Structure 1
Amino acid sequence: MPNTAAEAIVATSQTQKTVHVAVGVIVRNGRVLIARRPDSAHQGGLLEFPGGKVESGESVQQALCREIAEETGLVLSEDALEPVIGIRHDYGDKCVFLDVWLSRSARGEPEGKEGQPVGWFEPDALRDEDFPAANRPIIRALQLPRQLAITGDIPDAIKGLERLERALVGRSEGSLVVLRAPHLDQPQYRWLATEAVRLCRDAGVGLIVHGAETLCEEVDGARGLQVPWRVASQLTERPVGADLWFGVSCHTSEQLRHAERLGADYVLLGNVLETLSHPGQPGMGWERFRALAADAKVPVYAIGGLGPEQEPEVTARGGQGVAGIRFWW
């Protein structure tokens, strides 16, 4: 039985003649190494994260170290590689499974050993249209934080704003906060969200509004929209532009597929474990989370009974990171 999300996909891929590709996200001084594909190659001329096919008898880590050395001259350590995301993609003429791993300790200076241009890019400068379609979830995973903070109970807009100001202390720059306040009516929520944008901007944090599909149009400065499943189930297309984050709360494989069709940038999946708010109700568990995350084509946050200390368990099972309330609110 497969032990990891990647192994689960690879086992399935072997019956579907899917090419297993080891992909390296090589980070140095906050920038990531990017190569350009030869014009003669599949998807030629586009940018890519370096890597190559996993050969028979190789582990993905062995394959990645070999491919990176052959392509760029950099030396990676197998033990220092961290899982990022696994992506199955059907181009029509070719099916691939991208097994993506992160290295922060590559040794040497990169060069295009096969004549390809290589260079260091800021993650926020990476654009979908410059990459093959299968690479695009990798861009999302790089640009999204490992923790997604969600506000707790907000029965009153003014007190909620005061609570948010206190909670933002200590949040790292570049974090994202989801402003969830289902007990407020729409005018109260819009007022709170508008004021919260200012607080978050001052703290270097992006604010994601939560609820109706029109909220990003109503709250200037919001960095994105997250919708509960009841809203997502009624949508037929992505409700926000490509310059904003769009997230969906999911619980099943069918809901994940719908979120992907809508063009979600990420999903929340859970509850994984039993939560304090629903005692006695077991979550889906780690194995179910692993299986669903393995089949997802977007970054997946685990939610429900989790804190930052479980982040390694989540990423080892194919997740982007942890989403929740109690670890910060």
Structure 2
Amino acid sequence: MKEVHVAVAVIVRGSRVLIARRPDHVHQGGLLEFPGGKVEPGETVQAALVREIDEETGLRVPPESLSPVIAIRHDYGDKRVLLDVWRTSAVEGEPVGREGQPVDWMAVDTLQDEDFPAANRPIIRALKLPPYLAISGVFGNLVDGLRHLEGQLEQQRPGMVILRAPWLGDSDYRELALSARNLCREMGVSLILHGGVQRLEPVAADGIHLSWAEASQLTCRPVPEGVWLGVSCHNAEELAHAVALGADYATLGPVQATSSHPDADPIGWSRFQALAAQASIPLYALGGMATDDIAVAQQCGGQGCAGISSWW
């Protein structure tokens, strides 16, 4: 079955994105979608997006303003598609549905999976996830850990924090996580627990991040939709398993040498980029990362960076 290469535009204006509704008579008719269309033979993705956005909405897009978001391969059964997703906030003009389709600016936090074709859903994840994933580091006792977390959140408030403390037993971890949950909610930060799925229910945090050892034992998604699920991955096979589990995102690394895992061989940016092009879920570069590396990760098709020492 031939794969259809489709260029997709995430057009951002403030906290809203431009969304269209598919005509009832076409494939996946009646659902919402991001603007875009087929890449013609010999055409670059950027050129296809400039052309399609103009044809569909009348907006003008400088091609140099486009940056990669994610590549998604999806098999609908009757057709296979590669969604090549790029973002821009530099459009000129006001959108009009030039093909008769309704178009509107929608707040990112109002986008719902069921309103879009299944292949579009990782795009929604990418829009709702932050560019930097902060991970807690080493601390002494529970009081020191919570105090340090509060101090870091006051200095630099990321959109999402993974509470990682593999040296704690379930009881101590639960005590820390309950206090951390309340603190993060006060500051408007999503809290992701780290470890086995059993840690999630007593705390009611925003999600769970599984180590590869935990994820490798699972055969299906262990949490409901609406609860973030992340997986630590290191190669293509592990990423494929994370996708099969229905993970919302994955960390991939180490991309560069890191003191936390000195014996691990870095995969480098070129390998990260190659894996990101195949993964179909948002990927965070992990290992030796600083916040300055976010732009590099995004140019390589990643969601951004994840780090311990760069934040903790």
Q: Same fold judged by TM-score > 0.5?
A: yes
* Aligned match of 1:240: 223
User: Of 227, 233, 236, which aligns to 2:210?
Assistant: 227
* Aligned match of 2:119: 134
Q: Distance in 2 between matches of 1:17 and 1:171?
A: 47
* Aligned match of 1:45: 30
Matches within 5 A, 1:193-204: 193-204=177-188
Note the C-alpha offset of 1:123: 0.8
* Aligned match of 1:256: 239
Q: Distance in 2 between matches of 1:155 and 1:189?
A: 13
SS in 2 for 1:254: helix
Q: Distance in 2 between matches of 1:43 and 1:198?
A: 41
* Aligned match of 1:207: 191
* Aligned match of 1:13: none
* Aligned match of 1:99: 84
* Aligned match of 1:315: 298
SS in 2 for 1:102: strand
Note the C-alpha offset of 1:208: 0.4
CA shift digits 1:123-168 (9 cap, x unpaired): 1111111111110000000000000000001342111011101111
Matches within 5 A, 1:147-226: 147-172=132-157, 175-220=159-204, 222-226=205-209
1:124 matched to 2:109? The reply is yes
SS in 1 for 2:181: helix
TM-score of the pair, normalised by structure 1: 0.92
- The runs of 4+ residues in structure 1 deviating greater than 6 Å are none
SS in 2 for 1:191: helix
1:113 matched to 2:137? The reply is no
User: Of 16, 22, 33, which aligns to 1:31?
Assistant: 16
Note the C-alpha offset of 1:287: 2.0
Q: Which amino acid aligns with 1:148?
A: L
Q: Distance in 2 between matches of 1:230 and 1:114?
A: 50
* Aligned match of 1:299: 282
* Aligned match of 1:22: 7
SS in 1 for 2:180: helix
- Which residues of structure 2 form unaligned runs of 5+? none
SS in 1 for 2:155: coil
Q: Distance in 2 between matches of 1:140 and 1:178?
A: 17
Is the CA contact 1:238–1:264 (under 8 Å) kept in the aligned structure 2? yes
- Which residues of structure 1 form unaligned runs of 5+? 1-15
SS in 1 for 2:280: coil
Q: Distance in 2 between matches of 1:155 and 1:240?
A: 31
Q: Distance in 1 between matches of 2:165 and 2:139?
A: 6
SS in 2 for 1:314: helix
Q: Which amino acid aligns with 2:250?
A: V
Q: Distance in 1 between matches of 2:74 and 2:291?
A: 30
User: Of 46, 67, 70, which aligns to 2:52?
Assistant: 67
Is the CA contact 1:65–1:78 (under 8 Å) kept in the aligned structure 2? yes
Note the C-alpha offset of 1:280: 5.9
CA shift digits 1:153-201 (9 cap, x unpaired): 134211101110111113347x000000001111110000000011111
Note the C-alpha offset of 1:232: 0.6
State the identity %.
Answer: 58
* Aligned match of 1:12: none
Note the C-alpha offset of 1:281: 4.2
1:285 matched to 2:268? The reply is yes
Note the C-alpha offset of 1:213: 0.7
SS in 1 for 2:231: strand
> For residues 104 and 170 of structure 1, do their structure 2 counterparts lie closer, same or farther at Cα, with a shift above 3 Å needed?
farther
**How many residues of Structure 1 are paired with residues of Structure 2 in the alignment?**
312
Question: After alignment, is 155-164 or 107-116 more displaced?
Answer: 155-164
Q: Which amino acid aligns with 2:187?
A: A
Is the CA contact 1:274–1:282 (under 8 Å) kept in the aligned structure 2? yes
Q: Which amino acid aligns with 2:212?
A: W
